[in-house]
Structure 1
Amino acid sequence: MSHATSAPATPQLNALQLNSVTLLGNLVNKPEIRYLANPVQAITELTLATHSKWLDKKTNTQKEWTSFHHIKVIGEVVEQVIARAQKGDILLVQGYLASHDYAPKETVNATFIQAFAKGYTQEINQVHCSATLAAPLALVTTENNKTLAHAEISIFFETPSTSGKKPKQVNLTRPLHIWGKQALYLSEHAAPGDTLLIEGKLNYLNDLDKSQFIDGKHIQLIKKPAINY
């Protein structure tokens, strides 16, 4: 299970890292709006569904997969956009990966939302981040004879403030799945403490918590500098 702490797992020369998520999908239900005090701010949680289609080459049939993303929204955008949004509306969400103490613990915190009329849309499901490799990669072969590397990454970033307070620095961990030739390359060359520049999509395990992970598409490895004594 991922978690957030107040300090990075590995010291870095340029500590703060990229943590960006972009989603385009359908609002699953009308969210309930609440209000925080000191200062008074609107807050809500919503579920966004993104849809993707692909051709199954083995059966020559179209397949479709729907992912459900839990999103936390706070501030003016709640009353300006979410208060008028209806079930089925298309939402464009820009935000960042986050963890909380309450369920579901793994979310996307939204910093920007734009609403469009109801309808079906192909997904936008993009994660762009820089991260530190927290542990050695585990390389496996799946039932379909595909190569998969499982990694644990750490992202050290600042959370934007919606109330004028100083941004909080957070160290967040997520599982990362890497496939094929990239998996083989990184299993041979990457080591804990190295930096990974990641382009991928947000996905979820089929467990009780629907644990969040990043499905890596393009990974760039930046080796940790060697220490000479």
Structure 2
Amino acid sequence: MPLSDVVQKHLNTPSPQLCAVTLLGNLVATPDIRYRANPATAVTEIVVATSSKWLDKNTNKYKEWTSYHPIKVEGELVEQALLHANKGDIVLLHGYLSNIKPSDKSENHPSIVHANFVQKFTKGYTQAINQINCSAQLTSTPKLMLTEHNKNICQATIVINQHVYNTDKQMWQIISVSRAIHAWGKQALYLAENGDMGDELMLEGKLSYASSANKEQFIEVNNIRVFKKA
């Protein structure tokens, strides 16, 4: 390959970015474990429920919201952590966002989180964890809006180019995922004032899902930093 082609290929290859999802919640159902052939690999799709509470200042009462996260687990992780798991067990997992949909669902369901660490605890109640930390690139101009309750919200779309290891192909790959982000209050104003299409971002937040029929997955931002494009 000519040197000029090698340089051009390098320039067209996106730089790997961070994507780390951490969830602690309860199994919605007992895992259905299956095995793929060539090579024989255990695989399962689980749903983990996380709940959060907040104080409604209008009613001065606490409200609770539960999110249901579809998770794909494969390989030794399945047998190490989920072989004897049951509905209601507490699960701690770490993973990254993917583009795949649950295999037994229609297209109107959120994308799966691909797990690379799973630990199971006995069933019970625990304070949930729902966190995502990632670096990304803005693929739309941030749009600032005012809600009916006079709160600032800024919406935009991002792409995350993740460097992940494909266990089937036994090689590293860059997987690009696109998500919407929602920022509120001061973070919304910061993003609207400083963010432009093509800028790099570093953000932390949680995974949320639209209440519409398609249950679209998006990132609700707690903190964000903008780095201007070169």
TM-score (norm 2): 0.89
Q: Which position in structure 2 is the counterpart of 1:161?
A: 166
Q: Which position in structure 2 is the counterpart of 1:95?
A: 95
Contact 2:110 2:209 in 1 (8 A): no
Q: Is residue 217 from structure 1 mapped to residue 222 from structure 2 by the alignment?
A: yes
- 2:201 aligned to which of 174, 196, 199: 196
Amino acid at match of 2:22: T
How many Å apart are 1:164 and its aligned residue? 6.1
Q: Which position in structure 2 is the counterpart of 1:18?
A: 18
2:117 alignment partner, SS class: strand
Q: Is residue 71 from structure 1 mapped to residue 71 from structure 2 by the alignment?
A: yes
Q: Which position in structure 1 is the counterpart of 2:132?
A: 127
- 1:178 aligned to which of 183, 186, 200: 183
Q: Which position in structure 2 is the counterpart of 1:31?
A: 31
In structure 2, distance between residues paired with 1:189 and 1:115: 42
How many Å apart are 1:58 and its aligned residue? 1.9
Q: Is residue 208 from structure 1 mapped to residue 213 from structure 2 by the alignment?
A: yes
Query: Relative contact order (alpha carbons < 8 A, sep ≥ 6): 1 or 2 greater?
Result: 1
In structure 2, distance between residues paired with 1:105 and 1:149: 22
Contact 1:99 1:105 in 2 (8 A): no
How many Å apart are 1:121 and its aligned residue? 1.2
Amino acid at match of 2:44: T
In structure 1, distance between residues paired with 2:80 and 2:190: 47
1:149 alignment partner, SS class: strand
Contact 1:199 1:217 in 2 (8 A): yes
Runs of 4+ in 1 over 3 A off after TM superposition: 11-14, 101-105
TM-score (norm 1): 0.89
In structure 2, distance between residues paired with 1:53 and 1:147: 21
Give the paired residue count. Answer: 215
How many Å apart are 1:140 and its aligned residue? 1.0
